[in-house]
Amino acid sequence: MGMIGGGRGAFIGAVHRMAAGLDGRIELVCGAFSSDPVRSRESGADWFLPPGHCYGDWREMIEKEAARPAGERMDFVTIVTPNHLHFPVAKHALEHGFHVVCDKPATFDLAEAKELQRIVARTGLLYALTHNYTGYPLVKEARALVASGKLGRIRKVVVEYPQGWLSTRLEETGQKQAAWRADPAKSGAAGCFGDVGTHAENLAEYVTGLRIRELAADLSSFVPGRRLDDDGNVLLRFEGGAKGVLHASQISAGEENNLNLRVYGELGGLEWRQQEPNTLVMKWLDRPAEVLRAGQGYLGGSATAATRLPAGHPEGFLEAFANVYRNFAAHVGARLEGREPAPGDPAMDYPKIADGVRGMAFIEAVVASSRANAAWTVPDA
């Protein structure tokens, strides 16, 4: 793995490195870790990379790695930069023959996402988007239960992602992570909804298997002077007739990362919370609720494949993130061996460029709807 961004002081870069390394299948071999060449090389030295594999510029890294012999260059690149760089870096990497893992959202805007989808198709290379919440074992169990029909036809979806870390104007204090997320030139058309609203959208679609057909959104910027949304409420209409509510916020004081999902069908419902990720509650019309726990033998194959530890040993955020990397690594490994995993193989179970396009279409539809006084709007995916 090569990495672009994620140098000293970066939060998400460290998460990616830990997740990628958890299963011992991926090695960090090079990087352009900062827009400051000195800082990039210092960051690489922190992780014991040879000086010749620590680059001062992402273009230089991609081009020099492409020039190395096949057994000596990176196999894929991970992009952990602010949003405005996702597309140019991914495009350059794909066009130089490298598979790509990218932090979400996929690009700066929808036009870039659609162009990137065309590039992925043209090159035939692999692209993974780190919607890491899909990696939790009980999220996979929830998806399998919905697909099995045990809940009946889905009627109602409620998904929330409240945080409170931007309840004040943190971006004016020198806090780097807040500063770029609140900057339209780096974040894109949305703030909160680009950062965590897309996670809620992706989780709802992943578990239910239903796509959002249209939406009505009301975005707010509660903190004075903030240029992008920090809170929003969205009504959803799904394919198949299900209705939903999506709420995302970064000014919900006291909240941490309280992503949660409830799905209700004709026969029963389910509830999952990211802050208690090893529990899935099943609710029924005609019998008491069931509490499913990670690591138990009664879970299905997809949940079992995503579990590393015996029941009662909690698995959390890093393990779920690592499942995206583990599956992607298995797919890359298969390609290196000249084969393609069969449909249903865990190696195929990671978010792809189509999920990135849907996420960007969701962002643009939410922004457009809110500007039109919550008019019903169809995502252009």
Is 250 within the bounds of a domain?
A: yes
Asked whether residue 154 falls in the same domain as residue 273, the answer is yes
The CATH number assigned to the domain holding 242 equals 3.30.360.10
What's the pTM value of the predicted model, to 2 decimals?
A: 0.96
Asked whether residue 177 falls in the same domain as residue 301, the answer is yes
Is 379 within the bounds of a domain?
A: no
Q: What is the pLDDT of residue 10?
A: 84
Is 335 within the bounds of a domain?
A: no
Identify the helix (H) or strand (E) that includes residue 21.
Answer: helix 11-21
In percent, the amount of the chain with pLDDT more than 90 equals: 97
Asked whether residue 111 falls in the same domain as residue 13, the answer is yes
Asked whether residue 193 falls in the same domain as residue 119, the answer is no
Asked whether residue 34 falls in the same domain as residue 112, the answer is yes
Total tally of structural domains belonging to the chain: 2
Is 294 within the bounds of a domain?
A: yes
Tell me: the pLDDT tens digits for 328-376?
999 999 999 999 999 889 999 999 999 999 999 999 999 999 999 999 9
Tell me: the pLDDT tens digits for 278-321?
999 999 999 999 999 999 999 999 999 999 999 999 999 999 99
How far out from the chain centre does Cα 213 lie?
21
Spatial distance between the Cα atoms of 151 and 207, rounded to a whole number of angstroms: 12
Spatial distance between the Cα atoms of 253 and 256, rounded to a whole number of angstroms: 9
Spatial distance between the Cα atoms of 302 and 323, rounded to a whole number of angstroms: 11
**Residue-range definition of the domain harbouring residue 168:** 136-312+355-371
Q: What is the pLDDT of residue 325?
A: 98
The secondary structure of residue 341, as a DSSP letter, is P
10 Å CB burial of residue 235 (0-12, 13-18, 19+) is middle
Tell me: the pLDDT tens digits for 235-272?
999 999 999 999 999 999 999 999 999 999 999 999 99
Asked whether residue 89 falls in the same domain as residue 216, the answer is no
Q: Which of 129, 157, 182 is the last residue of a domain?
A: 129
Asked whether residue 171 falls in the same domain as residue 280, the answer is yes
Tell me: the pLDDT tens digits for 113-146?
999 999 999 999 999 999 999 999 999 999 999 9
Is 33 within the bounds of a domain?
A: yes
Tokens 């000596």 — which residue? Answer: 72
Asked whether residue 59 falls in the same domain as residue 179, the answer is no
Count the helix, strand and coil residues of the chain and give each as a percent rounded to the nearest 5. 40, 20, 35
Is 277 within the bounds of a domain?
A: yes
**353-371 helix and 110-123 helix, angle to the nearest 10 degrees:** 170
Asked whether residue 184 falls in the same domain as residue 303, the answer is yes
Measured in degrees and rounded to the nearest 5, phi and psi for residue 121 equal: -65, -40
For range 156-162, the mean pLDDT:
98
Q: What is the dihedral of CA 27, 32, 37, 39, to 10 degrees?
A: -50
Asked whether residue 124 falls in the same domain as residue 142, the answer is no
Query: Across the chain, what does the average pLDDT equal?
Result: 97
The CATH number assigned to the domain holding 58 equals 3.40.50.720
Asked whether residue 103 falls in the same domain as residue 184, the answer is no
Q: What is the pLDDT of residue 109?
A: 97
Q: What is the pLDDT of residue 9?
A: 82
Q: Can you say whether residue 213 is alpha, beta or left, with left for phi > 0 and alpha for psi between -120 and 50 degrees?
A: alpha
Identify the helix (H) or strand (E) that includes residue 248.
Answer: strand 243-249
Is 331 within the bounds of a domain?
A: no
Q: Which of 81, 106, 129 is the last residue of a domain?
A: 129
Is 321 within the bounds of a domain?
A: no
Tell me: the pLDDT tens digits for 78-111?
999 999 999 999 999 999 999 999 999 999 999 9
Asked whether residue 123 falls in the same domain as residue 47, the answer is yes
Q: Which of 129, 158, 177 is the last residue of a domain?
A: 129
Tell me: the pLDDT tens digits for 44-54?
999 999 999 99
